[in-house]
Structure 1
Amino acid sequence: MKLLKLVPDNTNIGFVAMRKWAFALTALLTVLAIGAVAHRGLNLGVDFVGGLMIEAKFPQAVETDKVRATIGRLGVGESSLQQFGDPKTVQIRLPLPEQGGAGAANAVVEKTRNAMTAQFPGVTFSRYDTVSGKVSGELIQNGILAVVLAVVGIAIFSWLRYEWQFGVSTFVAIMHDVLMTLGFFAITQLEFDLNIVAAVLTIVGYSINDKMVIDDRIRENMRKYRKMDMKALIDLSVNETLPRTVMTSLTILLALGSLLLFGGHVLRGFTAAMMLGVIVGTYSSIYVSSSLLISLGLTPQASEKKASKAGIAAQAERVGPRDDGARP
């Protein structure tokens, strides 16, 4: 029985020849992503901004102005309402009461729920969240720290495991993947909460796994074909790993597609981030990370020198007392 092959064997695609176009596209998308984050900002969830969040689902489409007017008459503070694709679902954000702690917050939720139920019969409430301002500030710091440490740690590992060029190219590619994800959330204004931070960290892990497979093949071919032109060597390595890369990406996208269709509203942002990350990570592994090695001056001789140093260190004699107890 023949196995399914999405990519035929012995492909010979000239990825390196398109690197200038890929670099230009990457630079353009990166600038747009940074601009979107700076101009529009992220739609931070209650996890990061603090406050009360109530998610209401109506039996039919509802006008947000009517919902806002109903809440405004309660005197619970200025409300922020958002709809995400489904006109029947409205996310309501309210400020935390200045005094009273958890009891006062619960009272606001109950007051809002009663008013909404009276004004809109059939409305249901699927989600409640309460986060204090202090906790939200700590979550922002911890989320940023987690992403930064993950990216820097992976780059350092690539530097130590391979040549320094691999570490730099990996860092650039992963930063590209993270910025694309942030830009997507700035443009779509999907809620950015702790679930999305988890998705970003997962994207980083997927991207590094994809890049390590290609980097390993490049390094192996550098030892095998020491006189081959570096451009041809990288094309060969990427083409050799292309079936695995495509099959892995499509398999993950199929699973994420099921989550997007059947996972409900709660998982929508997480799934969207993961799907974008897989696509962008695959692109950066093939076109950005590998081709950047040429611009950084990597040659087969560099790998040979590092391997020679490792061999000399492994063969070095240990200095110490002799086994027979005799003096030297």
Structure 2
Amino acid sequence: MLPESKVINFMGWRKTCATISIVLLLVSIVSLAVRGIEFGLDFTGGSQVELGFDRPADLPTIRSVLAEEGLENPVAVLFGSDSEVLVRTQDALREGALEELEERLAALGSDVQLEEQRNAPSNQTRFAEILVISGASEDQLRGANLFPQRYFGDTAFGTEGDRVTVSIQNSLDNVYTQSLIGVLEEATGASIELRRSEFVGPQVGDELRDQGGLGLLFALAVVMIYVAIRFQYKFSVGGVVALVHDVIIVLGVFSLLGMDFDLTVLAAVLAVIGYSLNDTIVVFDRVRENFRIIRRGSPKEIINTSLTQTLERTLLTSMTTLLVLVVLYVFGGELIRGFAFALLVGVLVGTYSSIYVSANILVTLKLTKEDLMPPQKEGEEQEDMMP
């Protein structure tokens, strides 16, 4: 056993640290229950547009324009170069086009309204959608110039009883995108080209969220089985409690700060599970070894010795990882900032839980040397009794 002066009494603080952990968990759980998590575009559905500028993009101006347009949680980040911008919003862009169109129709009279939108028949490959308008004549709609070609493309008018049909070449998503590009060109003075426009439906988002949650639970179950097989069930309980502790606190921090939770953050949470488990396994391995070789000393003293022996390795690993994550958070750009922040929180909490949660559980469950004695082989007792 290490000299007494060199052994840090970690378990002397076990009750204080347990209280801190319980408080952090309660705050996180309450925040998750009351405020919830701000799910990002990957989970809620929304639109994503990639724009190409003919000059370096002015992100502050672009973000100001997006906010003025009333988009929900808009994000504008550089994508690939300083002239490529990725715009993400939780709105369906077609809703913006419909709102603008309905405002223009209302200006013609209170009875003029958009009644229906439907996809164009498959044999009309020239057009994308058909709008059905009531309360106005075809001549009124033509004269009001409600469907400028720059945004709607080619149009064709028709009648269905007392209603007017307008076939448009561009979909309403594309219409609003082109309108937004026009506003951005006017604000920035740049020429903008649409590179790509995508829509993520809420149904897809729900599926991603459910599968992500199942993946998280599956990872915890596999960890519990693995640790139980490699060590002993008390270690398994300690390891999984530490992982649950880490995950809930990371989620709680995102809930308290109102940060977007997307697939990159979910990947970071899963990475935190792996990192924290690796650190915990190193501690468990030393605990098991010392329980078998140290003849004297209480379980708390042996655990203190094991934690002291692994402390330098734990701190060095955590510090080097944190340095990389800080650089990634500061210089990595907005797209991966949530990922880097989740890992920063996770590594800090995971380092703490490897010492003061997993080891604390071992003391609480009264781990003894008998729990870690290798099983005796059949016939071994008779062989020992032979002369």
TM-score range, shorter chain: 0.7 to 0.9
C-alpha distance 174-243 of structure 1, shift in aligned 2 (>3 A): same
Equivalent position SS for 1:94: coil
Aligned to 1:250: 319
- Does the Cα contact within 8 Å between 1:178 and 1:200 map onto a contact in 2? yes
Distance 1:60 1:278, change over 3 A: closer
3-state secondary structure, aligned to 1:266: helix
Q: Say whether the 8 Å CA contact 1:55–1:92 is kept in structure 2.
A: no
* 1:285-304 alignment, distance < 5 Å: 285-304=354-373
Aligned equivalent of 2:73, options 81, 99, 108: 81
Letter in 2 for 1:40: R
Distance across 2 between alignment mates of 1:196 and 1:99: 37
User: Displacement, 1:135?
Assistant: 1.1
**Map of 2:18 onto structure 1:** 23
Q: Shift in Å at residue 129 of structure 1?
A: 5.3
In structure 1, the partner of 2:333 is 264
Q: 2-side partners of 1:115 and 1:313: how far apart?
A: 86
Q: Give, in whole Å, the separation in 2 of the partners of 1:197 and 1:313.
A: 52
Select the residue among 110, 119, 126 that pairs with 2:178.
Answer: 110
User: 1: CA distance between counterparts of 2:7 and 2:191?
Assistant: 58
Conserved? CA contact 2:48–2:87, under 8 Å: no
State how many pairs are aligned.
295
Contact 2:61/2:187 (<8 A) preserved: no
Distance 1:225 1:297 in 2: 17
After the TM superposition, which segments of 4 or more aligned residues of structure 1 sit over 2 Å from their partners?
53-69, 81-84, 89-93, 95-130, 311-315
Aligned mates of 2:285, 2:225 — CA distance in 1: 16
Paired AA for residue 147 in structure 1:
L
Q: Quick check: 1:93 aligned with 2:161? A: no
Please give the alpha-carbon distance, in whole angstroms, between the structure 2 residues aligned to 1:41 and 1:294: 34
What is the rounded CA distance, in whole Å, between the counterparts of 1:149 and 1:18 in structure 2?
A: 33
* Matched residue, 1:158: 227
Aligned counterpart for 2:30 among listed residues 19, 32, 35: 35
**Secondary structure at 1:172's aligned position in 2?**
helix
- What SS is found at the alignment partner of 1:290? helix
Which residue identity lines up with residue 118 of structure 1 in the other structure? E
Report percent identity of matched pairs: 33
Q: Aligned pair 1:143/2:212, yes or no? A: yes
Alignment of 1:4-23 (within 5 A): 11-23=6-18
Secondary structure at the aligned position of 2:357 is classed as: helix
Contact 2:47–2:197 (Cα < 8 Å) also in 1: yes
> 1:12 Cα deviation (Å)?
1.9
Residue 200 in structure 1 maps to residue 272 in structure 2: no
Change (3 A) 1:204 1:127: farther
Given residue 80 of structure 1, which amino acid in structure 2 is its aligned partner? E
- How far the C-alpha of 1:118 sits from its partner, in A, is 2.4
One-letter amino acid of the counterpart of residue 30, structure 1:
L
1:83/1:51 Cα in 2 relative to 1: closer, same or farther (>3 Å)? closer
Question: How far has the Cα of 1:153 moved from its partner?
Answer: 0.8
3-state secondary structure, aligned to 2:7: coil
Name the structure 1 match of 2:44: 49
Q: Relative to structure 1, is the Cα distance of residues 312 and 30 closer, same or farther in structure 2, using a 3 angstrom cutoff?
A: farther
> Partner of 1:321 in structure 2?
none
Shift of 1:117: 2.8
Residues 1:127 and 1:199: Cα distance change in structure 2 (over 3 Å): farther
Relative to total residues, which structure has the larger strand share, 1 or 2?
A: 2
Question: Is the Cα contact below 8 Å between 2:61 and 2:188 reproduced in 1?
Answer: no
Distance 1:15 1:262 in 2: 36
SS of residue paired to 1:130: strand
How far does residue 45 in structure 1 lie from its aligned partner after superposition?
A: 0.9
CA distance in 2, matches of 1:313, 1:22: 46
In structure 1, what is the Cα distance between the partners aligned to 2:243 and 2:298? Answer: 27
* Unaligned ranges ≥5, structure 1: 1-9, 73-78, 316-328
Q: CA deviation at 1:48?
A: 0.2
| Structure 2 gap ranges (5+) | 77-85, 95-116, 120-127, 129-169, 382-387
Aligned CA RMSD, in angstroms, stands at 3.3
Code of the residue aligned with 1:180 in structure 2: it is I
Task: Give the C-alpha shift of residue 278 in structure 1.
Answer: 0.5
TM-score by length of 2: 0.68
More divergent stretch after superposition (51-60 vs 288-297): 51-60
Q: Is the 8 A contact 1:43 1:186 kept in 2?
A: yes
Larger mean CA deviation between 47-56 and 256-265 belongs to: 47-56
8 Å Cα contact 1:46/1:130 also seen in 2 = no
Shift in Å at residue 114 of structure 1?
Answer: 2.3
Task: State how 1:304-319 maps to structure 2 within 5 Å.
Answer: 304=373, 307-309=374-376, 311-312=377-378
Matches within 5 A, 1:206-245: 206-245=275-314
Letter in 1 for 2:375: S
Q: 2:17 & 2:195 partners in 1: Cα distance?
A: 44
